[in-house]
Amino acid sequence: MNSMKDTGAAAGPAPGQTSRTHRLRGLAGTGLVATLAAMVATTLAAALAQATGVDFEVPDGGESIPLFGFAVVTGFFSIVGTLIAVALLRWSAHPAARFVWTAVSLTAISLIPPLLSGANTATTTALLGLHLVPAMVMIPTLTRSLRTRTD
């Protein structure tokens, strides 16, 4: 019969691996909840703007942007922001600072298309505000989460 010594070593992730995975998953979960909150806030703000008379008609095609469109676009770009935060947590020495710089820069860039759309003043103003609503939800939430996971 063959005898094997039990060395007490267990197969599994290396020390620190579980902690890193937990931090990344925690940040992703926070990002998902913040994404849902940003989608709701943006859609409600768009509905409120529509109720006050903003038509969200963009001259290129002449169609109005539907409320569902605001939710979809907000959700997509909020998930992109969450993925950026997760990547920075994984590979950056200063993820919170890098995330703020990146997110604020991308938010500023996102303000350019409404200004170039040729829509009326009310629609342009509302679109600019609707770009800032999810930024006000996502950036502080993910930054706070990054700081607590790197301290």
Average the pLDDT over 105-112 and give the result.
98
Beta strands in the chain (DSSP E): none
- pLDDT above 70 (res 18): no
Give first-to-last CA distance, the chain, whole Å. Answer: 53
Give me the pLDDT at residue 90, please. Answer: 95
Mean pLDDT of the chain: 91
- CA dist 141 and 106 (Å) reads 16
* Predicted pLDDT at 147: 96
pLDDT in tens, 30-81: 999 999 999 999 999 999 999 999 999 988 777 899 999 999 999 999 999 9
pLDDT value of residue 3: 53
Res 4 pLDDT > 60: no
